[in-house]
Amino acid sequence: MKNTCVQLTSQSEVTVIPNTVIDQVVPEANELQLKVYLYILRHQADSDLLQISRMADFFNETEKDIERAVKFWENRGIFVLARREAPQPSCEAEETGVQPLTLPVRPGLSRDDIRQLSADKEFSEMMFLSESFVGHPLTARDLESLSFITKNLHFSSDLLEYLLGYCTAQNKKNFKYVEAVAIAWSSQGITTPQEAKEQGQAYNQRIYSVMNALGRKTDPTPAETAYIQRWYQEYMMDTDVIEEACRRTVLATDKNRFQYADKILHSWSAAGVRSIQDIAKADSAYSKKRHSAPRRSAQPAYAANNPFLQHAQSDTDYEKLEQLLNS
């Protein structure tokens, strides 16, 4: 078979995608998330086009769906949501809550860049602090992350020190993890160690409230934590909605409760359910649909004279089971 070559007509028509994104993140992304990522790359120089409402119109999707897609990339350290600092926001921003996106790019450092950073007293102190944290000299990749956290995300030395201590407590000493946490804190508007501490306490409270709702009394495993993070960050569900899904899960099964609850929350997310009121409406709609559908006879007419069917029939309510699985 002959090799096939693709030739682009102009370099100006090219949008570059980092290899690490293709290798590590793209396999996890769904169709809309991929579309949003490519759109943002294509229009990153035009802040007006990087509004949630503009993207929702372009893809004919809801703003909530676009927000969840953007959140997927933000949680993986690709993009960062930026808040408008103008004292008088536009009418559109007031009405929709739309905030423009900025795309801080982790700097690629040359040897000269590293020498210049090392000569900077404040950055040199942060390097020493970070090396004490990881237990070895920083690699070029570590320095890029450190520069990104301090220069692009504007972490103070106090906040960086708290960040490193927090990651140590999680038994995570690689800068890939440190950078991911820094991006998450930045997106939440955290600028001081006290704010980070309060956020951490609220996060732990949410985690354990979900664990209790599922009948778990132990600390969450990494896999269980990933499920809970998905429900909050990707599905963007409130705690009361998650706990309702957990309640239904506990009533339905003793096994694989996280997987079962995830099916419920995924279906609710796809249906636009965001509150307890939305759940009540969805339940009501399902009940009306169920009662309006023609019901089949529980036993065929020929069963009375069929000796193979003369036994006690199962009283399992399969419609109820279907409702639990589809709700």
Is the model's pLDDT at 311 over the cut of 50?
Answer: no
Half-sphere exposure in the Cβ direction for 161 (13 Å, CA): 10
Q: Of the candidates 217, 219, 214, which has an alpha carbon nearest to the alpha carbon of residue 204?
A: 219
Q: Is the pLDDT at 144 greater than 80, yes or no?
A: yes
* Beta carbons of 65 and 43 less than 8 angstroms apart: no
CB 178 within 8 A of CB 149: yes
- Express each pLDDT in 157-173 by its tens digit: 999 999 999 888 878 88
Residue 322 has a pLDDT of 58
pLDDT above 70: residue 107? no
Mean pLDDT of 241-252: 94
pLDDT at 263: 92
Nearest CA to 146 among 123, 167, 168? 123
- The CB-based long-range contact list for 201-205 (8 Å cut-off, 24+ gap) reads none
Does 54 have pLDDT greater than 70? yes
CB atoms within 10 A of CB 246: 25
For the stretch 12-41, pLDDT in tens is: 467 778 777 787 778 888 999 899 888 888
Least confident of 167-176, 209-218, 248-257, 298-307: 298-307
Between these two residues, 240 and 84, which has the higher pLDDT value? 240
Q: Which of 262, 254, 192, 187 is nearest to 223 (CA)?
A: 262
Residue 275, φ and ψ in degrees, nearest 5: -145, 170
Q: Judge whether residue 84 has pLDDT over 90.
A: no
Measure the CA–CA gap between 284 and 123, rounded to whole angstroms. 59
Closest CA to 79 of 42, 107, 100, 104: 104
What Cα–Cα distance (Å) separates residue 150 from each residue in 75, 107, 167, 263?
A: 19, 11, 16, 39
Q: CB 257: neighbour CB atoms within 10 A? A: 19
pLDDT of residue 248: 94
Q: Find where tokens 């995830």 sit.
A: 262
pLDDT of 82 > 70? The answer is no
- The model's confidence at residue 251, banded by pLDDT at 50, 70 and 90, is very high
**Structure tokens belonging to residue 196:** 């980070």
State mean pLDDT over 259-274.
89
Say what the pLDDT of residue 162 is: 92
Helix (H, G, I), strand (E, B) or coil at 230: helix
Question: Lowest-confidence range among 119-133, 239-253, 274-288?
Answer: 274-288
For residues 209 and 203, what is the distance between their CA atoms, to the nearest angstrom? 10
**pLDDT digits 0-9 by tens, 178-228:** 888 888 788 778 899 999 888 878 778 888 899 999 998 887 887 888 888
pLDDT score of 137 more than 50: yes
The pLDDT confidence band at residue 175, using thresholds 50, 70 and 90, is confident
pLDDT at 145 over 80: yes
Task: Please classify residue 206 by burial: count the beta carbons closer than 10 Å to its beta carbon, then call 0-12 exposed, 13-18 middle and 19+ buried.
Answer: middle
What is the identity of the amino acid at 24? Q
What is the DSSP code string of 285-304?
Answer: HHHHHHHHSPPPPSS-GGGG
pLDDT(104) > 70: no
Of 151-165, 177-191, 228-242, 294-308, where does mean pLDDT reach its minimum?
294-308
Most confident segment among 103-112, 138-147, 155-164, 315-324: 155-164
Cα angle for residues 6, 10, 12 (degrees, 5° grid): 125
In the predicted model, what is the mean pLDDT of the chain?
Answer: 76
- Which pLDDT value is given to residue 48? 67
The pTM of the full predicted model, rounded to 2 decimals, is: 0.45
